[in-house]
Structure 1
Amino acid sequence: MSNVKLFWLDEEQFEELLPDETLISSEQKVLIEKNLSVLFGMKFVVRDYPMDQDVIDTLALDSNGSPVILMFRKDPLHSPVNRGLNAMAWLQGHLSEIRLLVMHHLGEKETLKLNLNQARLICLSDHFNDTEISTASLTSVDIELLNCRFHDENLLAVNRLNLPRLLQRLNPYQPRIDELLSQATPRQKQLYQEFKNLLTGLGDDLRVLVKENEIIWARLRNLATVDFSGATLNIRLNLPSEAVFLEEMAEDFMVNQADKANEGGVLLLQLNSSEQLLQSAYLIIRAYRIN
């Protein structure tokens, strides 16, 4: 169970904000669905979609075109992990149905981006027991467990659990990543390895995937998009414009792309050297923490 504690500072006095003791209500679930873009960088598709003997609580589409099943703990007796794994198995036999749902609710443009082979499962609950954590750790499904607790009426705490590595998962994108790296220059390869070392040193909760010719690093949301076009290592950081000060983008290799924020990040780093990567490290760490 999450041990995160929140406190409200009123003048010079701290007051602990106690979490709700109840499960996520249907009203709170709808609130989460309405804010999927802010919370997880996703677009809502449909709720309570019927499948064999159950429903998909929420179906969404992430910014990389992957369908995402979100399952909530509805009562103490039914595990969102078990329900979610059943939903993922059902989805594999109903891919054309998922495509039609995306077409109907989000339109042709989003349907063309759809990546049905890389579905994700997110389970949300106020707690997860040891059996659920072990089950999630042993499955080959792309699964994430999120502790979600409402505090009073206007505060939601979300904590992603780091699952123990009980099963060595193979990244399905690794062959494509290797192919892109084989086409990079020696300098680009070296800088990418240094960038990778920086991120993996921050935590083991990262996802790495490929979209066309770009390598995407993500946590709950995409945090960085990397490509090897030209002679530089190009890294777009997914940072909100208010999280970057103009004076922080004073270096020649930093490009302000606030007008292209919806394409993967407001700040483009065009790196030529390890020194430039080191100068940018605090911004990369900021993108990791925010996303």
Structure 2
Amino acid sequence: MSGLKLFRTDTTNSGMIEVMPRLAEIEADVQGLVETHMETLLGVRFLASEYSTGPVHGGRIDSLGIDENGAPVVVEFKRGTDAGVIHQGLFYLSWLMDHRSEYQHLVRDRLGVTVAAQVLWSAPRLICVAGDFTRYDVHAVREHRRSIDLVRYRYFGTELLGLETVASVTGLAAGPGAARRRTPEMARVRTVDGAMAELAAAVDEVLLGLGDGITRVQRKQYRAYQRLRNFACVCPPQQTKLLVYVKADPKQVDLVPGFTRDVTGLGHHGTGDLELQLRSERDLARAEDLLRLSYAAA
């Protein structure tokens, strides 16, 4: 966004007028706006604002939330550039990991018992929203073992808010040997037809190749591919097909029976209202434009 220029059509003079970017007057302005629309802007369900960490730690977490995959999220805001925002956020993330029961009670009170029981503690996230970041900030997040997103904001005029992901780093699963542990999905891939396992690997390669800063989150029922928000969810391979859910508007897509399906309002694993049914790498090639569309929207 640092190089982005936004122009408005001037119908009176048949010209173009540049809409100048600006920062919030005070930090609370951008925090309040994002908290009000957190699910739309960040893909995170809002839980609490200015959450106290108690008398011992003596701090307040700007915002607490839970993302589309059930991962706990700490969101910290800064009006401009602040070298301490990452360290402050990591301090609160560490506090959160030591107070899991308290967080789950908060989730239960706000969103219900079912959501609280499915919190994904292996993938906690820190999202820092600020006016800007330095190259040292971008380097610092790559040195940590946590999932961290640096998001730059700008107001344009009085009606537009821009968000740009400056850096996104995937944390490692908690616990020794986590990377070697067989997940239910991995076990199932080995039991299905070899062609379906190869197709699943090809889908993984295509999704990770769509751009930088892609996070892969493994849940029991699906694997999510995420920028700031999910853009694709891949279910474990079936005997003859692989189901992928993407965030494209089914009403804007020419649905093809046996290939694309509108699942708006229908229960399914993962997120997204458009279901892709892939049976071969040819289907994957047909689906690439929809995958790119969903990635761009995330």
Q: Give, in whole Å, the separation in 2 of the partners of 1:6 and 1:104.
A: 42
Give the letter for the 1:252 counterpart.
G
Deviations 1:188-211 (A, max 9, x none): 122122222222222121111122
Q: CA 1:256 to 1:230, structure 2 compared with 1: closer, same or farther past 3 Å? A: farther
Q: Give, in whole Å, the separation in 1 of the partners of 2:217 and 2:154.
A: 29
Match of 1:130 in 2: 135
Which residues in structure 2 correspond to 1:89-238 (within 5 Å)? 89-162=94-167, 170=172, 175=181, 176=183, 178-227=186-235, 228-238=237-247
Aligned 8 A contact 1:253 1:270 in 2:
yes
Q: Give, in whole Å, the separation in 2 of the partners of 1:229 and 1:192.
A: 10
Q: Give, in whole Å, the separation in 2 of the partners of 1:76 and 1:283.
A: 36
Match of 1:10 in 2: 10
Give the letter for the 2:221 counterpart.
N
Match of 2:258 in 1: 252
Q: Give, in whole Å, the separation in 1 of the partners of 2:160 and 2:38.
A: 15
Match of 1:38 in 2: 40
Q: Give, in whole Å, the separation in 1 of the partners of 2:134 and 2:196.
A: 44
Q: SS state of the match for residue 28, structure 1?
A: helix
Give the letter for the 1:249 counterpart.
L
Give the letter for the 2:294 counterpart.
A
User: How far did 1:261 drift?
Assistant: 7.8
Overall identity of the aligned pairs, in %: 24
Of residues 186-195 and 148-157 in structure 1, the stretch that sits farther from structure 2 once superposed is 186-195
Which residues in structure 2 correspond to 1:13-92 (within 5 Å)? 13-22=15-24, 25-51=27-53, 52-73=57-78, 79-92=84-97
Q: Give, in whole Å, the separation in 1 of the partners of 2:19 and 2:85.
A: 26
Which residues in structure 2 correspond to 1:263-278 (within 5 Å)? 264-278=271-285
Q: TM-score, normalised by structure 2?
A: 0.86
Q: CA 1:174 to 1:222, structure 2 compared with 1: closer, same or farther past 3 Å? A: farther
Aligned 8 A contact 2:138 2:167 in 1:
no
Q: Give, in whole Å, the separation in 2 of the partners of 1:24 and 1:275.
A: 52
User: How far did 1:78 drift?
Assistant: 5.9
Q: Give, in whole Å, the separation in 2 of the partners of 1:215 and 1:21.
A: 36
Deviations 1:160-212 (A, max 9, x none): 0135x8xx965657742543432332111221222222222221211111222
Aligned 8 A contact 1:41 1:221 in 2:
yes
Q: CA 1:45 to 1:186, structure 2 compared with 1: closer, same or farther past 3 Å? A: same
Give the letter for the 2:85 counterpart.
P
Q: TM-score, normalised by structure 1?
A: 0.88
Aligned 8 A contact 1:24 1:125 in 2:
no
Gaps of 5+ in 2: none
Q: Give, in whole Å, the separation in 2 of the partners of 1:155 and 1:237.
A: 26
Deviations 1:33-90 (A, max 9, x none): 1111111222110000112132110001111111100001156556211110111111
Q: Give, in whole Å, the separation in 2 of the partners of 1:154 and 1:135.
A: 33
Q: CA 1:202 to 1:170, structure 2 compared with 1: closer, same or farther past 3 Å? A: same
Give the letter for the 2:273 counterpart.
V
Q: CA 1:169 to 1:232, structure 2 compared with 1: closer, same or farther past 3 Å? A: same
Of residues 172-181 and 186-195 in structure 1, the stretch that sits farther from structure 2 once superposed is 172-181
Q: CA 1:170 to 1:111, structure 2 compared with 1: closer, same or farther past 3 Å? A: closer
Give the letter for the 1:98 counterpart.
Y
Q: Give, in whole Å, the separation in 1 of the partners of 2:245 and 2:140.
A: 35
Aligned 8 A contact 1:17 1:151 in 2:
yes
User: How far did 1:22 drift?
Assistant: 4.4
- What is the count of residue pairs matched by the alignment? 285
